[in-house]
Structure 1
């Protein structure tokens, strides 16, 4: 492991410790947006993660969900942090939520760590060096027939503009795929694609901290990640489709068929 991965692991593990310290406490919860929860645990966890990053990398930039959110990226080394992906799950004691820490440089992902708190699953990747789960190499599935495909998605909660088209697409996938799940944490969904548990994934209304780490893990596991136009500009685009190469192409084809062009475009391409 290089020093960047060590820093990412140290920061993410510190985040996990903080989350666990809030499990038996009464949470202070508020809506920062439509159906978009934030708790005092999110704020405290982000503070601890950032303290580790700043200690070791004081000159690096930071993009973090709760305190340093932005929709732009430079060539500088930038840490992209989601303290709790799956806050609604966490607030309701539903056991799927993650810490996500990524380092980007020259507008490309370099280092990634995602930890699913309850199962203590540590997904890691470094650009060009492969993807790992608890230290063991992982790769995307070999499923090539859509009828055998098991995929994940996320139900839109703060942007209902695509809901009618989305439901038509969802209905189609229910008919032609083996199964669909919605765990409620996009970061974890994507890591499960990397580990070969899911064959594919699609969602919209995603934010950069939802995908910055896990998408590198998928790529290093041999998978594909694009926006809904099949392009590489997905970090700030809010629309993402991923999977092994065959299932990714099938999902992308159906999205292009069922989602009107104006809704397939990236929302923000500031990256």
Structure 2
């Protein structure tokens, strides 16, 4: 499968320098994440408040490790991170960081969590770097140069029919407010697809679509740090990402559909039918 990315002008050498630099800290980031996980891991029943505090503590600690590493080499770059917010630099590069995607899994000792670092140029994602520390896995991509898992080229699946597809969704944080609509969507995909999975990490989900483990997903209420790195990896693996109506994906878009590209229109059609039926009730 030949992947042809639309032409886009950005400083490729400077992008390579940044990805090469951050890649040197792969083992360090992984070991730090697992050390933090050991410190905050829940061994017995705790309150919701304490669990959330441990999740925040873990995210702040991992975030600081990543930001300090970036700022040592690229102090002129801007940084946007889930917990620390936005730090404006003097250049055109922006690092977009999700220090721990899947933080509840993280504090429960479940290995399905990720570290996501996107590199953007003038607010356009141009490179992605994702770590799965507990699975010893690295995903990376630069716009126009393909996507890789542990330095091996990856491509999306060739699944052609939704009925043979593995679909995934990580329920949004406001799921209780939209429960009826959400259950309608889940019911429709259970009826139409091969099966549904839920990992608890959207970044992981998108990377697994990129390497052909999963075939598609729909997700609501995401943030820019959820998609910045993973969207580049997915597109460079031959996948597709859009809004719920099939509209062109825009940076920071909150509702997304990701797929191998082949079943994309089928996912969109299911969502349209659910929305139409839900609106009539």
Aligned to 2:23: 9
Residue pair 2:241, 2:249 contacting (<8 A) in 1 also: no
Unmatched runs of 5 consecutive residues or more in structure 2:
1-14
Aligned to 1:171: 187
Aligned to 1:51: 68
Aligned to 2:12: none
Aligned to 1:188: 204
What is the Cα deviation at residue 16 of structure 1?
A: 2.2
Aligned to 1:86: 102
Instruction: Indicate the structure with greater helix content.
Output: 2
Question: Helix, strand or coil: the match of 1:241?
Answer: strand
Across the aligned residues of Structure 1 and Structure 2, the Cα RMSD in angstroms comes to 2.9
What is the Cα deviation at residue 12 of structure 1?
A: 5.4
Larger radius of gyration: 2
C-alpha distance in 1 between matches for 2:196 and 2:41: 31
Aligned to 1:230: 246
C-alpha distance in 1 between matches for 2:201 and 2:254: 15
- TM-score for both structures, normalised by structure 2: 0.84
Aligned to 1:147: 163
Name the stretch that deviates more: 157-166 or 126-135: 157-166
Unmatched runs of 5 consecutive residues or more in structure 1:
264-271
What is the Cα deviation at residue 104 of structure 1?
A: 0.8
Q: Deviations along 1:101-146, whole A, 9 cap, x unmatched?
A: 0101133211111111111110000000000000000000000111
* 1:38 paired residue among 39, 42, 55: 55
Aligned to 2:6: none
The aligned length equals 260
Structure 1 residue ranges (4+ consecutive) displaced by more than 6 angstroms after TM superposition? 28-32
What is the Cα deviation at residue 236 of structure 1?
A: 2.0
Aligned to 1:247: 263
Aligned to 1:267: none
Question: Helix, strand or coil: the match of 1:24?
Answer: helix
What is the Cα deviation at residue 240 of structure 1?
A: 0.8
Residue pair 2:120, 2:127 contacting (<8 A) in 1 also: yes
Name the stretch that deviates more: 111-120 or 160-169: 160-169
What is the Cα deviation at residue 24 of structure 1?
A: 2.7
* 2:228 paired residue among 212, 215, 236: 212
Aligned to 2:79: 62
Q: Deviations along 1:25-56, whole A, 9 cap, x unmatched?
A: 24699989xx7973322111100101111112
